[in-house]
Structure 1
Amino acid sequence: MYNTLMLKNKFLSFILFFIITFSASFIGSLVTINFKDPWYSQLVKSDFNPPDWIFAPVWTTLYLMMTVAIWFFWHSKSRDMNTIYIYFIHIIFNTTWSIVFFGLHQIFLALVVLVILIGLIITLVIRYKRVNFVSYYLMIPYLLWCCYALFLNINLLILN
């Protein structure tokens, strides 16, 4: 009975974290699809910009990794609620970037949001490392991708 309850709890917690995390993806995608063009197509981009098709599979993978990371952290014995709150705040900033960049077409403000987001990701990485190495390692690609996004965002600001 206890094992069944634990298994159900783990499944339900994964579904909850999945929905919360992918809600950022869903909202960001809606804003991007509806407000990206023609504005984004007309921006001067650096040679470091990847093709547009790469973003969807990369972000889908990163959102899945974030979900698994917070889920492993949640089921760790030494978890703390402050880290969970930071995760939720970070999801809000993750969504906000798409709204500010693609929805409002504010490159500089998007840069500010991205710097805050990277700070929150670094905080999560540090907190995860103390409690669960799987969570820690799952966040590294996300941190690197967001640093790359920062580089691209700075280039767009300079070139436009």
Structure 2
Amino acid sequence: MKKLAVKILICSTTCLLLGIASGYSTAGAIKNWYQYIVKPDWNPPNWLFGPVWTILYLLMGVSLALVWHKALVLPKKALILFIIQFILNLLWSYIFFNKQQIGYAFVEIACMLLFIVLTTISFYRINKTAAYLMLPYLFWVCFATVLNGTIWYLNKS
């Protein structure tokens, strides 16, 4: 049990710190550019994103730790899929907010969504609980994909 707790601490802290760093790197664009673009009425308030992403990054970390613990050594395919989807996660914020490329961000988030699905399937084969912990993230990114596409549509020149 102690080894699992250490793995959860390592994975959750890593995911959370990388997510926080990504959030800080886009904070200026959120306060400026993002505030002025056209968004749908159902766009969540800005204050909601921080708490939601904090929870999602922690769940991703626990999920990864459970896979690591179940297999003793992180299975290469599961780890590669997790890393790819996580890199895409971090890149999306940069593309959308810093580069203000809503269309490219939409294509990127669609790829991220695919890799989240593949990661979740891979995790399911190793540890079902780990896969279930990925579901809130998967659902949120489905919502974010629709939101990104809608914002792209509303702001086409």
TM-score, normalization: structure 1? 0.89
Q: Contact between 2:7 and 2:69, CA under 8 Å: does it hold in 1?
A: no
Q: CA deviation at 1:21?
A: 1.1
Matched AA of 2:79 = I
Matched AA of 2:128 = F
Any idea what the Cα deviations from partners look like across 1:28-79, whole Å, max 9, x if unmatched?
Answer: 2112212223210111111120111111111111111111111001111386
| Mapping of residues 42-121 of structure 1, within 5 Å | 42-77=36-71, 80-121=75-116
Q: CA deviation at 1:115?
A: 0.8
Matched AA of 1:93 = L
Instruction: Tell which deviates more after alignment, 124-133 or 25-34.
Output: 25-34
Q: Contact between 1:93 and 1:113, CA under 8 Å: does it hold in 2?
A: yes
SS at 1:75 equivalent = helix
Percent identity for Structure 1 against Structure 2 = 33
Instruction: Tell which deviates more after alignment, 11-20 or 94-103.
Output: 11-20
Determine whether 1:13 maps to 2:7: yes
Any idea what the Cα deviations from partners look like across 1:69-117, whole Å, max 9, x if unmatched?
Answer: 1100111138622111211121111100111111111101111110111
Q: Contact between 1:128 and 1:136, CA under 8 Å: does it hold in 2?
A: yes
Q: For this pair of structures, how many residues does the alignment match?
A: 154
Q: Contact between 2:88 and 2:108, CA under 8 Å: does it hold in 1?
A: yes
Gaps of 5+ in 2: none
Give me the whole-angstrom Cα distance separating, in 2, the residues matched to 1:22 and 1:60.
Answer: 7
Matched AA of 1:117 = M
For the aligned residues, what is the CA RMSD? 1.6
Q: CA deviation at 1:24?
A: 2.9
Determine whether 1:152 maps to 2:147: yes
Determine whether 1:132 maps to 2:127: yes
Give me the whole-angstrom Cα distance separating, in 1, the residues matched to 2:82 and 2:29.
Answer: 27
Give me the whole-angstrom Cα distance separating, in 2, the residues matched to 1:65 and 1:132.
Answer: 14
Give me the whole-angstrom Cα distance separating, in 2, the residues matched to 1:114 and 1:23.
Answer: 21
Give me the whole-angstrom Cα distance separating, in 2, the residues matched to 1:16 and 1:61.
Answer: 16
Aligned equivalent of 2:16, options 14, 18, 22? 22
- Higher CA-based Rg: 1
Determine whether 1:123 maps to 2:112: no
